[in-house]
Amino acid sequence: MAMRQTPLTCSGHTRPVVDLAFSGITPYGYFLISACKDGKPMLRQGDTGDWIGTFLGHKGAVWGATLNKEATKAATAAADFTAKVWDAVTGDELLTLAHKHIVKSVNFTQDSNYLLTGGHDKVLRIYDLNKPEAEPQEISGHTSAIKKALWCNNDKQILSAADDKTVCLWDRSSMEVVKTLPFDASVSSMEYIPDGEVLVISYGKTVAFYNALSLELIKTVDVPASVHSASLHPEKDFFVVGGDDFKLYKYDYSTKEELEKAEKTFQWPIETEKRVPDGELYASGSEDGTLRLWQTAVGKTYGLWKCVLPGE
């Protein structure tokens, strides 16, 4: 008998949740940040979903949010033409980085010293957070809005996905493009898994897996609905897909077989989902402003889930 999955539901946002990110595992557990069109990104305890605080200061929708590995810093990308860096412990705003258009993506280097941004002005920017008054390094080449920009290969390279239906790999030192992947539809999500150097890209009704160093295609999987986002489990056992048909799908990575879906039906499309650092759960954010945490192994005692055996 398959056990029924009961998600933890986290409310608080008033508009669609469009991006989620987890920190690494710290001495205090791990943390989750959510970006929302209500302009108020929230920080939560990762395994329980408990609300810790809200970062106040943006004057428009927040499209991207991230935490550094240690969960000491947060960064957000917003429609008010700024990216902001925050102290994730006190909630204080540390920096406002002015852009020329809507900012969609923010990503820290592993040492938290640099922030990569991308957005509607088609330019990638690298900010030295220790010299905030210095002009950022700029990388041009995309012909449409940048949706996602990520450090990869030990921060020596950059991956960017844009509305021009391409994903580009850039060399950080030369700032030149190394390789471009063209797609026949706009890329809806891109996730980089450093452990094993896997790149997960979704476009149209397809989820594609690439080697992140060579950009060689590993495999593609077709999904019944248009994909908003896709996320691979750290052990590469399975991946989850959020679609615009109000369902969250789960597939076996090696066989491509669908593992479960039917009971996960929402009133709103899944905008985004991510898996956590220890692989024990994954989170989804939807258009109704709700975050949900889902267990990887249903029936296991973890976080707020208590395993109750029959007869106990």
Q: pLDDT per residue over 253-280, tens digit each?
A: 999 999 875 445 555 666 676 767 777 8
CB 63 within 8 A of CB 19: yes
Report the predicted TM-score, pTM, of the whole model to 2 decimal places.
0.91
- Closest to 246 (Cα-Cα) out of 264, 232, 258: 264
Measure the CA–CA gap between 72 and 300, rounded to whole angstroms: 30
Measure the CA–CA gap between 310 and 193, rounded to whole angstroms: 38
CB 230 within 8 A of CB 239: yes
Share of the chain above pLDDT 90, in %: 66
Q: What angle do CA 41, 168, 248 make, to 5 degrees?
A: 50
Alpha helix segments (H runs only) across 145-285? none
- Cβ-based neighbours of 154, under 8 Å, separated by 6 or more: 110
CB 35 within 8 A of CB 290: no
- Closest to 36 (Cα-Cα) out of 283, 213, 289, 274: 289
Q: What is the pLDDT along the chain (312 residues), one digit of tens a residue?
A: 445 677 888 988 999 999 999 999 999 999 999 999 999 999 999 988 999 999 999 999 999 999 999 999 999 999 999 999 999 999 999 999 999 999 999 999 999 999 999 999 999 999 999 998 899 999 999 999 999 999 999 999 999 999 999 999 999 999 999 999 999 999 999 999 888 889 999 999 999 999 998 999 999 999 999 998 999 987 888 898 988 887 888 899 999 999 875 445 555 666 676 767 777 888 888 888 899 888 887 777 777 766 655 554
Hey, which residues does 260 pair with through a beta bridge?
250
pLDDT of res. 130: 96
**Cβ–Cβ contacts within 10 Å for residue 308, how many?**
9
